[in-house]
Structure 1
Amino acid sequence: MPLWLPVGLVAGVAAWFWLPSPRAWCGFLLAMAAVALSGFAFGRGGRAGRALAIFALAAAAGCGLVWSKAAWNGGGGGLARPEVVHFTGAIERVEPLPAREAVRLLLRPTKGAGLPARVRVTIAEDKAPAGLLPGAEVVLRARLVPPPSAAVPGAYDYAAVAWFQGIGATGRALEPVRLVAPAPSGGPSQWLADARILLTRHILTQLPGGRGGVAAALITGDMGAVTEADNQAFRNSGLAHLLSVSGLHLTAAVGATMLIVLRLLSLSPWLALRAPLLLISAGIGAATGIAYTLLTGAEVPTVRSLIAALVVLGGMALGREAMTLRLVAAGALLCVLVWPDAAAGPSFQLSFAAILSIVALHELPWMRRTFEAREEGFLRARTRELVALLLTGLVVEAGLAPIAIFHFHRAGLYGAVANIVAIPLTTFVIMPAEALALLFDLVGLGAPFWWITGKALGLLLGIAHHVGSLPGAVTFVPTMSRTAFALTMAGGLWLALWRTKARLLGLTAMAVGLAMTLCASPPDIFITGDGRHLAVRGEDGRIALLRERTGDYVRSTLSELSGRDGDEAITLDEWPGARCNPDACAATLIRDGRSWRLLATRSPYRIDRSAMEPACAAADIVASERRLPDWCRPRWLKADRSLLERTGGIAIHLRRAAIDSVVGLEGDHPWTIAARPDPQASASRREGD
């Protein structure tokens, strides 16, 4: 039963994100209280009643935790509209982006500037002065915008992430930045920030190009030097987890430290006979994990992995088995209590789904019997280990696939095979060689180890690019509803956590969630919240974009939500039967025998009423980034600025004549309310138009 306690907390967090309004959240809390009372009252002291009551209380606690954090620690007071501002700010965090020739700063503007408490600004390298370190003060002129919400339903919603980080605006510096006060000298945080920056620069000097970017990401957690091509290759091949400092890297650092310390201490017979060497090595390993976490910037995923590692080390120190489901549950429980909002994100879900899949698989009796160590020949033993590794990889890939589909609309097919080579290569060759290279650089003898590191990284990059480019390496899944995702994850947890044959019932829920996903039809038209971009999905799945010069992010987002690769997208000018000019496009879509006429504007210039009014009247749907006049009256939908300001991006299903909107999915969550336009300002703009 304790295994289900963190599950209950996560269910409460998910309910808060899923339900649309404070009234619904209060209803959920009351419902969980009623279930808990019923469990205690009618369970008659039985285990089932108590378990149901405790699970309901945990769900209520999860909902209350994330709600209180959103109210107390959110990004309230965010920027209302785009502005060009001149302000002074203290640097909280520096993130070099060598691959983009830029530096990203997290700033705390001075009081009285009329800006949010935190602002994230990107600065071009040629506009960034020396001495940009945490604690320094800078003066800059930047164009700031509110944190962007999801472009269309189902897309990444940075506004929610920024809200919990307290970031109220993002933007880009327009002029060279001026340093007005250097960072204060001394202090552990300052020393760590300096060390991280200097270490990244040193690694990039020793290994230029893509290999250096990956090497820096492994040691310092700085992914700014990883090129977009390499990043995409790692994602497509299922190796993206190698670039993010989390469980794998922390385990390698802690495990290597423990092994080395244990071996060295055991060389002394006196210590081996009298001292608790395992406890000592576990303590030094824990210290190493903490130091590595601080060096890499103490990002939430790394801290979360550290907490889980410390729980495991504590269990080992107490004489418990190193990895059990209870220790995994304890780590998850602590993480949700500290960062309840993280439970709704892919990082938390992917990391704990992976470790849960591994531990649950290896706790199965038949798995223990089949792959336990035994006296046998070298070839037979290595074959057994390889089969166990491959089976583990396949189970992990199956466990991660629903999460990847829900959040990223894609699933890899060859990740299990690629990881069989990539994980040992990273853990036992690249990271030790790079650590030795940095150590021997202190005496000027690191060159041989850098050569080994470079060759191994070249092999890792070759694997990523080769596997990622194979036919069918990535399968795009256009849509997975929240209901289907909830069923799939609930079924997976049921399958992993129960010990009896009743666990097989989880396969039913997973099958239903998978069937719902496979049977779901993606939207036919996407219109972004600013009205500038539109995508039309053909019956063959291919999409057409309104504008030829569509940015890579918008192109890939709209393509993936349609279930296609962004490179396959065409422009609406190439759509069969479409009529386009520089100002507008008209196209016809046929669904279930019905013709839908679409009209979309794509320039800021005025279109003569004599041409526009009959075109509007002949269209079923009109889309525009402008605010269209009242005389533009399509037969079904006018998605202009007036509508999109209220709804955010929209997705249109023609077969059932339905519309999904970003605001409709997000409801009255605080970041959605903050992004809504001020009614008085909207009225003023309408009068101006």
Structure 2
Amino acid sequence: MRARIEDALLAQRGQLIGWVPVCLGVGIGTYFALSFEPDVLLMAGFTIAAACLLIASRLVPTAFAPLLMALVLVVAGAGIAKLRVAAVETPILTFRYYGAIEGRIVNIDRSASDAVRLTLDRVVLERMSPARTPRHVRVSVHGQQPLAVFTPGDVIILTGHLSPPAGPAEPGGFDFQRHAWFMELGAVGYTRTPVLRLIAADNTTVAARLFALRMAVSRAVQAAIPGEAGAFAAAIMTGDRSGMGQETLRDLRTSNLAHLLAISGLHMGLLTGFIFAVVRYGLASIPGIALRWPTKKIAAVCALAVGAFYLALSGGSVSTERAYIMVAVMLVAVLLGRKALTLRAVAIAAILVLVWQPEALIGPGFQMSFAATTALVVAFGALRKVDLHRLPRWARAVLSVILSSFIAGIATAPFAAAHFNQIAHYGLIANVLSVPLMGVLVMPAAVLAVCLAPLGLWWIGLGLMDIGLRWILLVARTVSAQEGALGHVIAPDWFVLPLLAFGLLACVLIVGRGRLIGVAVVLLAAVLWQQTSRATLLVADSGALIGLNGTDGRALSKPSGNSFVADIWLENDGAPVAQEVAAARDGLLIEGRVTRADLGEWQVLQVSGKTALVALRDCDGADVLISNQIDAGPRPCAVYDVTRLRNTGALALDVAGNGDLRITTAHQMTGQRPWNSWQGPWPAPVTLSYAQQKRAAEATLPR
């Protein structure tokens, strides 16, 4: 048996590089999943243990050494994440602020509600010391204001509302506080007052000149190509999506073409691949150069340089930086005389990204990018063994496009479903009809436009782009208009996606029959996803909204207000509808500003407004009281007023198998970490037993 195990382990040695980012990812994911922050002593202990394992790996038989190295890499991943958290530490606003805000604009974008957002640094807040002032704040600007005159680098002043980054909309949900921590964002808010320029931007810096060039290109492109096609062209050339309409964005998402809008691996790959091909074949056509110069390496250097310029021009978003790293690894492999498209290259790119930005692991961009890349490398590696030379060249090209779209779509579908709770049923058709045109027409035309711009002839390239982009938008509109174009799925439990990812990677990386382990893990993840259940009652951290899950779906306590939270609840249920539709469902008893919800033998009362809370007698027979006001108390029930909810976060209430009422808080799930420690010690989890319910009922009888 030992000999068989050793043989099986030795057979994996050709694929060990692929397990390095997997082990780093396990360590990073474990760190982020902890419900407490490991202190220095604990991390030091693990470091010492890792050092001992590293020494032991030199003493054990060769076959078993990688297992010890895997544990070392897991500890290294946790340590990298810990160091990254400390490196981006910044003050967080700990209260709701209203007053004067001064800061320098570092970014301008739009929110999901299409409001212009200004991200500021060098922030100055009224009556607040610099040590407590957040490093960055983000302000949404409402109303008609001439924001086009502002550019990054301008120092502005305004009067607005700021608050700390919000926690998860429900226990176990997306943690915006953690996301904001890595963006070094200490406060978010809005303003309805005029935004005034205090000091004009210093256009002598490289960053200011790049942004000015970026905005100038965006405006010129949108002027040359009218309508949504021009906004689309500006988005893929400069990363400026401010001109895109919400209806167009919905069509692109529904048809699974939204990835064409974001500057990511596809665009960077198409651009650098086109430049590589043009330079290489151009030099190869000159005999004197082709025979004496390393044309392949020259083409790789040119592609690297153009990709770096594209990265800078597009604003350098995280997804674009990640895409450039992936492309750069493959082009450097060409410079070193190695194969570019291999699992080794993908693994090296993943290692670099995880070391540089470990928090990228838990985001959909990293997961979907590397899922698609890995699947394509594996699939086309297997196709090399298939003899397709009997097919005409055009047939091979068509087959390659269809297979690429199909494989990438299948590989990214589970991650898209887990993060966005939706599946584009006709996404393959839309991508087959659109992606080839992006590669053979749109991106080459963009390069042509840039090359002809100094001669004043860039309208030639833009005209070709216009044709391709109008076709893509037509495909998006047509596909999204089909009945059943978009399906919805329930949000899985937190452990399902890591299991699924590990199983899929095991299928790819394990050599031999051991791949069946990966198949078993994938099937287990699928079964657990199917068995995922949603909380019976959800409570927003504001105390102003509750949602009861029933046979017809989740019923909400009000048709408007807290719409962001309401939309997240309904999407995670796998049944997104308008908030007013959910509010019209049966299940909740609403009497003015008082809402009752029955959970078996338990009753929850939600009260909105100070007047309704003052008029309430004790708990009016309820076991749990929810309020969006401060309650003076005491009351003969569990009370979650707005003060306590700010400390606990959103709530999920369920009846356990023994009849007890279990109340889970968002902060109980996330734990006390650096990005939310300003909220103070966490309240203990609450479970109300039947005996408690009986005593509370008896206490209210005399009244």
Same fold (TM over 0.5): yes
Equivalent residue, structure 2, for 1:600: 606
The structure 2 residue matched to 1:369, chosen from 385, 398, 403, is: 385
Instruction: Give the Å deviation of 1:464.
Output: 2.3
Conserved 8 A contact 1:262-1:277: yes
Q: Which amino acid aligns with 1:369?
A: K
What CA distance in whole angstroms lies between the structure 2 residues aligned with 1:454 and 1:556? Answer: 35
Task: Specify the alignment match of 2:425 in structure 1.
Answer: 413
**Is the counterpart of residue 563 in structure 1 residue 574 in structure 2?**
yes
The correspondence for 1:625, drawn from 623, 628, 634, is 628
2-structure distance, mates of 1:25, 1:420: 52
Contact 2:409 2:428 in 1 (8 A): yes
SS across alignment from 2:157: strand
Q: Which amino acid aligns with 2:611?
A: Y
Aligned to 1:518: 530
Change (3 A) 1:179 1:576: closer
Cα distance, 1:73 vs structure 2? 1.5
The structural deviation recorded for 1:658 is 3.0
SS at match of 2:167: coil
Instruction: Return the match for 2:593 from 568, 583, 586.
Output: 583
Range with greater deviation from structure 2 (110-119 or 316-325): 110-119
CA 1:449–1:98: 2 relative to 1, 3 Å: farther
Distance 1:455 1:307, change over 3 A: same
Q: 1:16 is matched with which residue: 31, 40, 46?
A: 31
Matches within 5 A, 1:473-488: 473-488=485-500
Query: Aligned equivalents of 1:229 and 1:553: distance in 2?
Result: 19
User: Any gaps of 5 or more consecutive residues in structure 1?
Assistant: 680-689
Worse overlay, 489-498 or 649-658: 649-658
Q: Which amino acid aligns with 1:623?
A: I
Q: CA deviation at 1:316?
A: 1.0
Residue deviations 1:165-187 (CA, integer Å, cap 9, x gap)? 21111122342222222222323
- 1:53 matched residue in structure 2: 68
> In the alignment, which residue of structure 1 is the partner of 2:78?
63
Give 1:79-118 correspondences, 5 Å limit: 79-95=93-109, 100=114, 102-110=116-124, 112=129, 115-118=133-136
In the alignment, the residues of structure 1 paired with residue 434 and residue 59 of structure 2 have an alpha-carbon distance, to the nearest angstrom, of 53
For the 8 Å contact 1:40–1:53, the answer to whether it is kept is no
| Residue aligning to 1:227 | 245
CA deviations 1:502-554 (Å, max 9, x no partner) are 223201001101101101211122111111222222124x2222121135533
| Inter-partner Cα distance in structure 1 for 2:312 and 2:549 | 47
Choose 493-502 or 89-98, whichever is displaced more: 89-98
Asked if the contact 1:33/1:60 (under 8 Å) is kept, the reply is: no
Does residue 553 in structure 1 map to residue 564 in structure 2?
A: yes
Against the structure 1 CA distance between its residues 156 and 215, is the aligned structure 2 distance closer, same or farther, given a 3 Å change threshold? farther
| CA distance in 1: counterparts of 2:189 and 2:399, whole angstroms | 50
d(CA) in 2 for partners of 1:85, 1:198: 34
Match of 2:408 in 1: 396
Pairing 1:643–2:669 present? no
Residue aligned with 2:511, SS: coil
Counterpart-to-counterpart distance in 2, 1:658 and 1:417: 46
CA apart distance, 1:67: 0.9
What does 1:60-209 align with in structure 2 at a 5 Å threshold?
Answer: 60-75=75-90, 77-95=91-109, 100=114, 102-110=116-124, 112=129, 115-124=133-142, 126-128=144-146, 132-209=150-227
Q: TM-score, normalised by structure 2?
A: 0.87
Q: Is the 8 A contact 2:50 2:75 kept in 1?
A: no
Q: Which of the residues 224, 236, 246 maps onto 2:254?
A: 236
In 1: Cα distance, 2:490 partner to 2:22 partner:
27
SS at match of 1:175: coil
Which SS does the other structure have where 1:138 is aligned? strand
Structure 2 residue matching 1:670: 3-state secondary structure: coil
Q: Secondary structure of 1:363's partner? A: helix
SS of structure 2 residue aligned to 1:226? coil
Q: Secondary structure at the match of 1:47?
A: coil
- Matching of residue 461 in structure 1 with residue 473 in structure 2: yes
Structure 2: distance between partners of 1:559 and 1:409: 10
Given the alignment, which residue of 19, 31, 34 partners 1:4?
Answer: 19
Number of residue pairs matched?
A: 661
Contact 1:628 1:640 survives alignment (8 Å): yes
- 2:270 touches 2:439 (CA, 8 Å); kept in 1? yes
Cα distance in 2 between the residues matched to 1:83 and 1:56 = 46
Q: How far has the Cα of 1:96 moved from its partner? A: 6.5
Q: Distance in 2 between matches of 1:202 and 1:286?
A: 26
What residue ranges of structure 2 are gaps of 5+ in the alignment?
1-15, 684-703
Provide, for residues 101-136 of structure 1, a one-character-per-residue CA deviation record: whole Å limited to 9, x for no partner.
635233321595552121222334744566523333
The secondary structure found in structure 1 opposite 2:99 is strand
- CA RMSD in angstroms comes to 2.9
User: How far apart are the structure 2 equivalents of 1:438 and 1:418?
Assistant: 28
* 2:549 aligned residue: 537
The Cα shift of 1:382 comes to: 4.3
Question: What do residues 369-426 of structure 1 show as CA deviations (whole Å, max 9, x unaligned)?
Answer: 23x551x252xx5445544544443433333233223322333333233222221122
Range with greater deviation from structure 2 (481-490 or 128-137): 128-137
Show the counterpart of 1:687: none
Aligned pairs for 1:307-386 (under 5 A) are 307-364=325-382, 367-370=383-386, 372-374=387-389, 376-378=390-392, 381-386=393-398
Instruction: Give the structure 1 partner of residue 10 of structure 2.
Output: none
Once the two structures are TM-superposed, the CA of residue 659 in structure 1 deviates from its matched residue by: 3.2
- Determine the C-alpha separation between the residues in 1 that align with 2:54 and 2:207: 49
Match in the other structure for 1:686: none
* Change over 3 Å in CA distance of 1:28–1:602 after alignment to 2: same
Aligned-pair CA distance for 1:331: 0.8
Shift of residue 158 of structure 1? 2.1
**Higher mean displacement: 185-194 or 390-399:** 390-399
Most deviating of 504-513 and 287-296 = 504-513
Distance 1:494 1:179, change over 3 A: same
Per-residue CA deviation, residues 535-576 of structure 1 (Å, 9 max, x unaligned), is 222124x2222121135533321111212123386344x333
1:350, distance to aligned residue in structure 2 (A): 1.3
**Structure 1 residues 415-472: Cα deviation after superposition (integer angstroms, max 9, x where no partner):** 2332222211222222333444455555554556544433432321232233334444
1:684 aligns with none
**SS at the partner of 2:64?**
helix
Paired residue type of 1:563: G
Distance 1:525 1:105 in 2: 36
**Which range is displaced more, 399-408 or 480-489?**
399-408
Give secondary structure in 2 for the equivalent of 1:605.
helix
| 8 Å CA contact retained: 1:220, 1:295 | yes
| Counterpart Cα distance in 1 of 2:321 and 2:527 | 36
- Per the TM alignment, residue 198 of structure 1 is displaced from its structure 2 partner at its CA by 1.3
> Partner amino acid for 2:594?
A
CA offsets per residue over residues 31-50 of structure 1, 9 Å max, x none? 68657746864885333421
Q: Which amino acid aligns with 1:95?
A: D
Question: Following the alignment from structure 1 to structure 2, what is the Cα–Cα distance between the partners of residues 33 and 677?
Answer: 30
Distance 1:499 1:29, change over 3 A: farther
What's 2:677 paired with?
Answer: 673
Structure 2 residue identity aligned to 1:550: G
Contact 2:550 / 2:587 at 8 angstroms: preserved in 1?
no
Contact 2:647/2:679, CA 8 A, preserved across alignment? no
What fraction of aligned residue pairs are identical, expressed as a percent?
26
CA contact (8 A) 2:272 2:307 kept: yes
Alpha-carbon separation, structure 1, partners of 2:526 and 2:450 = 47
